[in-house]
Amino acid sequence: MVTERFVLAVDQGTTSTRSIVFDRGGRLVSVRQREHRQFFPRPGWVEHDPMEIWANTQRTAAQALRDAASSAGEVVALGIANQRETTVVWERATGRPITRAIVWQDTRTEELVARLSARPDAGIVRERSGMDIAGYFAGPRLRWVLDHVPRARERAERGELLFGTMETWLVWNLTGGPDGGVHVTDVTNASRTSLMDCRTCAWDPELLDFFGIPVAMLPGIRPSVGELGTATALGSPIPITGALGDQQAALFGQACFAPGEAKCTYGTGSFLLQNTGTELVHTRSGSISTVAYQLAGEPVHYALEGSVAVAGALVQWLRDGLGLIGTAPEIETLARSVADNGGCYVVPAFSGLLAPHWRGEARGLVAGLTSYVTKGHLARAVLEATGWQTRDVVLAMAADSGLALPALRVDGGMTTNNLLMQFVADVLDTPVVRPMVGETVSLGAAYAAGLAVGLWADVEALRRNWHRSAQWSPVPARAAQLDAEYPTWEKAVRLSIAWGAD
Amino acid sequence: MGTGCPTVRGVPGTVQSLERAAAILQVVAGSGGTLGVTDIAAAVGLPKTTAHSLLRTLLGIRFVEQDRAGRYALGPGLLKLGAGHLDVNELRSRASNWADALASRSGQAVRLATLDGDRVVVVHHVFRPDDSAQELDVGAVLPADRTALGRVLVAFAPHRTVGGAGPVRADVAAVRARGWAVVDGGWEAGVAGLAAPVRGSTGLVVAALGISGPVETVLEGQRGPRPRLVAMVTESAQAISRELGWQG
């Protein structure tokens, strides 16, 4: 009997862990999801329990495999996508974490980062890792653990402790844990530590020295697509053959394999990544260079990344903070009650501005208020803020890479908002397209794993799986109008930075 | 009357006219728009004059509607109430994953439509997954009698003001009975549509979900739509209904 071949993807995200089985057409066969607890022990601190996440991974994976078993298919590979930069340190002998995972949103390393940045040799971080020193990355968090957990540094130097981002933690546990677990990371996750040389894709001794990290605790760096180990913890053994940080996984799931191709995920924040090919781009305009993916035996592909902290979160604020709407999608109804923004602009710099401005001191503002402005105009300004910020990021990337943006591939919850998507198309003067499978992060992990075992022949086969579910084309007159309006938005951004400056 | 009939029984300390009005609404809901005032009065065990004045009040607040023959059906006021006034953008957001999956599995374009007054309006559109040139038609108004989406909305509308032409009326009973509508080339030559009702939390139909594609793909010659596609469309519509809180 001919059975179909499936791939299991685990998307270990910030709020939940999802296990999804995909078929060869990239369609969902089964989905299971489980949320985990968020710990906020102090202002600015965010933690997860690694044991809870491991338990949720086993549980959801087992359920998704069971659900798929009725579909007469065999799961031939496992791929992992994970929340990036979240840091776990555990005991090699027992598998017990020595502290809770420090999450990517956590800002406890601010002071440490300021101290490190002030060092005369701080320039090597940007030179080698491709990124400035920032609390956003995993390296400073690992350093914080070594500094604050009793005896951690000496135990790490003796090789008793292991470090990993979430995919490393899960692969180690899936492949046996204390009993022969494989200690590896993929090149995209390694690139988010500030400890890897982004050209050679190996741990850099001088960076390790700079951050004070013992090499003994670091995982081996592997390609994103290729053999990582064999999962023995889920019943019958499954080869683990793909791992990617979640935003890189979305880029892969959106089939952005050629230089210039880009995707933007509109969730709480927005994350835009543009493939720049096999050459690392030196950035000057506010985007950052990062590793996009690597197929085993092939050169590394790089991407430019522009992260915006507040996108959907601004709509949530309109709902929860102001009570102007009952549910997030209702913002479109409110915004359509008026024809334009009425001269109103919202800069959602709730805790500073990320790409391309990188101004932590900026604070949010509503500009252009007159007695003419109604809640409808405010709703429009809130949606437009996400569009303007996308333009800020796209312009910075264009300046850095010199690559044209043929179209922007979008995913995430806000893509059901037609008003916003049309605004993005107009403000970029570029078509915006949404794929049929909205689960791009999980799909990217599945693609990586399936590609490695030959379920798909090459990336061209993945490209053929990608189908448009919607397209928003720019309207020339509106694009010209927004182009003329852009300096007004830029002025509002300058004001928000000035407001927070003192 | 059989068991479960909503005959009014006074309960001490309650408002009698409200109990009576509720009983009438239950009868009207169960009748599918076939009863006049005499039958309704008999069903709830009230004098005809009392039932008549209650029905007039319900007409005034649009909880019921009356056709030319004097028969009563549930009204649009109740629909809004029952749907918790379901916002169309909220509806699109909740339906999106199911609509994508339906397009992906059926290989056809998917549309979700609602009634805006008497108009059938597209609130969500997923392209046919063949990457051919297609344009989003969210906001477009469809002819109620010449599209499967329109026929479903008309057939399940709690009030009978939509469409109104003879052939549509004849189709209403059939659509209600089998739970889906099919139109062969009614709107666009060579294109057939197949649609099913989406229910809100109270069971009232709040939208129609449908696919459209080449006649030879959607239909099996003269035998009607392909059963595989009928199953996909009705199951997806039910999944969205459950997403909206329908327990049925």
A214-236 mean pLDDT: 94
Three-state secondary-structure class, residue B206? strand
The closest CB to that of A438, out of B100, B134, B136, belongs to: B100
In the block, residue with structure tokens 């799909």: A443
The closest CB to that of B92, out of A416, A436, A472, belongs to: A416
Among B16, B25, B32, B23, residue whose Cα is nearest residue B1: B23
A407 touches chain B (CB under 8 A): no
CA distance A83 to A70: 30
Q: Evaluate whether A193 touches A141 at the Cβ level (below 8 Å).
A: no
Interface predicted TM-score (ipTM): 0.81
pLDDT of B58 higher than 80? yes
Among B150, B165, B245, residue whose Cα is nearest residue B197: B150
CA distance B234 to B231: 5
Predicted confidence at residue A444, as pLDDT, reads 96
A324-345 mean pLDDT: 95
A54-60 mean pLDDT: 96
Q: What does each C-alpha distance from A227 to A9, A223, A302 come to in angstroms?
A: 15, 8, 21
Predicted confidence at residue B17, as pLDDT, reads 87
Q: Count the Cβ atoms, other than its own, within 10 Å of residue B47.
A: 9
Among A194, A10, A195, A13, residue whose Cα is nearest residue A105: A13
DSSP A475: P
Rounded to 5°, the CA angle A152-A154-A155 comes to 65
Predicted confidence at residue A197, as pLDDT, reads 94
CA distance A127 to A123: 6
Three-state secondary-structure class, residue B4? coil
Query: A471, B126: Cβ pair inside 8 Å?
Result: no
DSSP structure string for A237-302: -EEEEEEEEHHHHHHHHTT--STT-EEEEESSSEEEEEEEETSPPPP-SS-EEEEEE-BTTSPPEE
Determine which of A91-105, A196-210, B213-227 has the lowest per-residue pLDDT on average: B213-227
Determine which of A125-129, A197-201, B64-68 has the lowest per-residue pLDDT on average: B64-68
pLDDT of A76 higher than 90? yes
pLDDT of A70 higher than 90? no
Give the CA radius of gyration of chain B: 20
Q: Count of A–B CB contacts within 8 Å?
A: 65
A314-318 mean pLDDT: 92
Predicted confidence at residue A283, as pLDDT, reads 83
DSSP A54: H
The mean pLDDT of chain B is: 85
In the block, residue with structure tokens 């080339």: B185
Report the percent of chain A where pLDDT is more than 90.
Answer: 76
Among A239, A106, A102, residue whose Cα is nearest residue A175: A239
- Helix/strand/coil (H/E/C) assignment for every residue in B187-204: CCCCEEEEEEEEECCCCC
pLDDT of A418 higher than 70? yes
Three-state secondary-structure class, residue A39? strand
Among A374, A371, A369, A380, residue whose Cα is nearest residue A333: A380
For residue A359, what pLDDT band results from cuts at 50, 70 and 90?
A: confident
Q: Evaluate whether B108 touches B134 at the Cβ level (below 8 Å).
A: no
Among A384, A382, A390, residue whose Cα is nearest residue A409: A390
* pTM of the complete model: 0.82
Three-state secondary-structure class, residue A150? coil
A17-38 mean pLDDT: 89
Predicted confidence at residue B85, as pLDDT, reads 67
pLDDT of A149 higher than 90? yes
Collect all residues of chain B within an 8 Å Cβ-Cβ radius of residue A437.
100, 104
Instruction: Give the start-end residues of each E strand in A36-108.
Output: 47-48, 73-82, 88-91, 101-102
Collect all residues of chain B within an 8 Å Cβ-Cβ radius of residue A328.
93
pLDDT of A457 higher than 60? yes
Query: B100, A436: Cβ pair inside 8 Å?
Result: yes
Dihedral of alpha carbons A253, A257, A259, A261, sign:
negative
Q: Which amino acid is at A171?
A: V
Portion 458-477 of A in contact with B at CB < 8 A: 467-472
Q: Count the Cβ atoms, other than its own, within 10 Å of residue B124.
A: 24
pLDDT of B4 higher than 50? no
DSSP structure string for A344-375: -EEE--BTBB-TTT-BTT---EEE---TT--H
Phi, psi dihedral angles at A171 (to 5 degrees):
-60, -40
Determine which of A129-138, A160-169, A208-217, A335-344 has the lowest per-residue pLDDT on average: A129-138
Determine which of A285-299, A462-476, B94-108, B151-165 has the lowest per-residue pLDDT on average: B151-165
